[in-house]
Structure 1
Amino acid sequence: MKVSTPRLALNHLALSLLLFFSPASADPAPVTDLTTTVAASSAGDGGLGLSYDEGLASVIVRLTEAAYCTPQLASWSCKACQHFPGMRNVTVINGEKRNVRGFVGVDIGDAEPSNRYTSTTRGPGPDDRRHLRAAEGDDRDAGGAAQSGKARIVITFSGTDPSSVKNWIDDLEATTVPNTYGGLCEQCQVHRGFLAAYDLVKDQVRYAIGQHMQYNPHVQILITGHSLGAALAVLCFLDLRVNRGLGQGPNSSVSFAPIYLFGSPRVGNEAFATLTTRPGVSIFRLVHHRDPVPHLPLEAWGYHHPPTEVFYTEDQSSYQVCNNSGEDDKCSNQFWAIFGNIEDHLWYLVVNYSTAYMQCQLDGESRADRETAPALAPPAAVA
């Protein structure tokens, strides 16, 4: 059944402007190595990450911060990028038509910077092939997936571009379209705008992963995103797991890390939400207090969140792991969307997205000015 309703009557321009003027959070200490942290969080539970790990969330949220730094992603030179010195072979994801942004990279921990190779068009260079094989090693589990300290493919999508009102419209339109995932979910309905946005970049994502897996086939894939990027992350996971068959079967050489989403809107109907739980990978949706975006599109329009919500208090000093309904009335669902606070959407754990976005743009413009400015002529000789 197709659901078609009016768009929510919000002031999109006001929301966009608020992105720029939210208070900044304190700059935290550097995060720990990604490969070690993910492995530690999955230990003892079959690698599915069945328990919420706030330490891991505080690491992964930095990836979503980096995704906003489009000018610096290819060179992996942004401030947030510095938290992941082992990131290699970064491919920038770019869907210009709908302002979709993100990146695919390989994190190999504390490798030597001299082995870094970044590109927006092709896969690993010769040095990285050697290094990735060395990082992967032969220590695999029964299914062949890489263990702690080995290379991990990271896929991260940024949220709405604060300078683009059009993205907010994409986020809030309420029309769904059927997506049966090859007949696996005949009743699935997916947000039209989110699906169109992912379809715009899915070939880029698939190509980048294919390039990485040529030289590093035994990997774990980590997918994350903030806001619109969280919706794209869910669609990306199902595309790779269901449509492409990655990580299927006990002998697969590919596994998926637990998925952490930050300020995610609803992506589809209840059948779609149920589908996300079938592949056996834990999804944790972090919601910061009165963040309005997780309330959209409205549940009354036929949308439904997948489990599991992790609901944070206003100052983020404590959290509650909610029930597995996806719509726990004791968590964010206790609030109405109309009473949401956009500032809560812009602050997750250690990251303030409005500050990060502005800093990335300023750094990018400053670098471009330095690179394109003509050399100064020497002063005239004094007679």
Structure 2
Amino acid sequence: MGTRRWVAAAAAVMVALLLLSAASHGGRRGPSFNSNNRTFVFNYTLAKTIVEYASAVYMTDLTALYTWTCSRCNDLTKGFEIRCIIVDIQNCLQAFIGVDHNLNAVIVAIRGTQENSVQNWIKDLVWKQVDLNYPNMPDAKVHTGFYSAYNNTLLRPAITNAVRKARRLYGDISVIVTGHSMGGAMASFCALDLAISLGSDSVHLMTFGQPRIGNAAFASYFEQYVPSAIRVTHEHDIVPHLPPYFFFLPHLTYHHFPREVFPCINLESV
């Protein structure tokens, strides 16, 4: 199956799971995001909106993406204003930044692994940990490949610049960062970076099927700096279980940061 067909199928499955879960809640729909007090609470309307952005960033037709006329640029994201598309050809990375006027928020979406990209697969498989290059985070270690993919490429400076420009134009509105799989890992580092520079109240994160990205110390620091973080996970997806968790190496093994949501189960029963 080609890359685009595989991604489209994965996104369709995720959206279907979200809708089925909503049905199990009696079709509950609530305010998805309160931009006035910047609360970020999971519900299915918000998740379905954000997963559409996480899916659209895989599009290769950049003209359709920039004009927001692509096959995935509709439904709840209709009217989205693209501000910047980032394409790092050398590292096979792609992201976009824009403004969702319904949510009154800047959206940052980062593409995940491309099926035929050697660079992406190498970054996925480099499980070696490296010290996190931020002050006041002693003992925090992170996944070398994912951290490098965000911090040592075009992504970090280009995203930071685009977000600042959007907020200068529209005021200090919130920022929502998203991504799927490897894109979720890079989105997490992006959210942390933006939270440190803009403030924790301004930055929110929702990822889909993301892997673990750091040790226990990192997960603890991440929760402090990005408290508005949601990881949407399907119980049969192997990616969130990678890199593996080794119980006999509690300080070195990879840990997830909170909060995790399983859309395929009745959350009220948990």
Q: TM-score range by the shorter chain?
A: 0.7 to 0.9
Q: 1:221 aligns to what? A: 175
Percent of aligned positions that are identical:
31
- Of the candidates 151, 168, 175, which is equivalent to residue 128 of structure 2? 175
Structure 1 CA distance for aligned equivalents of residues 269 and 221 of structure 2: 19
Matches within 5 A, 1:167-246: 167-182=120-135, 184-199=136-151, 200=153, 201-242=155-196, 244=197, 246=198
* Contact 2:179 2:187 (C-alpha < 8 Å) held by counterparts: yes
Aligned to 1:255: 202
Equivalenced residue count is: 248
Amino acid at match of 1:208: A
Partner Cα separation in structure 2 for residue 303 and residue 276 of structure 1: 13
Query: Within 5 Å, which residues of 2 pair with 1:102-121?
Result: 102-109=95-102
> Is 1:180–1:186's contact at 8 Å kept on the other side of the alignment?
no
Q: CA deviation at 1:266?
A: 0.5
Equivalents in 1 of 2:30, 2:195: separation in Å? Answer: 20
Structure 1 match to 2:70: 78
> Of 244, 254, 257, which aligns to 1:303?
254
Larger RCO, structure (CA 8 Å, separation 6 or more)? 1
Q: Which has the larger radius of gyration?
A: 1
CA contact (8 A) 2:233 2:261 kept: yes
RMSD: 3.3
Q: Could you tell me how far apart the structure 1 residues matched to 2:73 and 2:5 are?
A: 25
1:41 and 2:32 correspond: yes
Q: TM-score, normalised by structure 1?
A: 0.58
What SS does the aligned partner of 2:157 have? Answer: helix
Task: Give the residue type in structure 2 aligned to 1:40.
Answer: P
Partner secondary structure for residue 278 of structure 1: helix
Q: Are the aligned partners of 1:263 and 1:288 in contact in 2 as well (CA < 8 Å)? A: yes
Structure 1: runs of 5 or more not aligned: 1-13, 32-37, 110-148, 249-253, 324-383
Per-residue deviation, residues 212-252 of structure 1 (Å, max 9, x unmatched): 1222222111111100110011100111111x2x035xxxx
Q: Which residue of 2 aligns with 1:62?
A: 52
CA distance in 2 between partners of 1:269 and 1:321 (Å)? 30
Cα distance in structure 1, aligned partners of 2:38 and 2:11: 35
Could you tell me which runs of 5 or more consecutive residues in structure 2 were left unpaired when the two chains were aligned.
20-28, 247-251
Match of 2:25 in 1: none
Question: Residue 293 in 1 paired to residue 239 in 2?
Answer: yes
Give the Cα–Cα distance (whole angstroms) in 2 for the partners of residues 322 and 280 of structure 1.
26
In the alignment, residue 253 of structure 2 is paired with which amino acid? G
The structure-2 alpha-carbon separation of the partners of 1:21 and 1:76, relative to structure 1 and needing over 3 Å to count, comes to closer
* Pair 88,293 (structure 1): closer, same or farther in 2 beyond 3 Å: same
Measured in 1, the distance between the counterparts of 2:225 and 2:235 equals 29
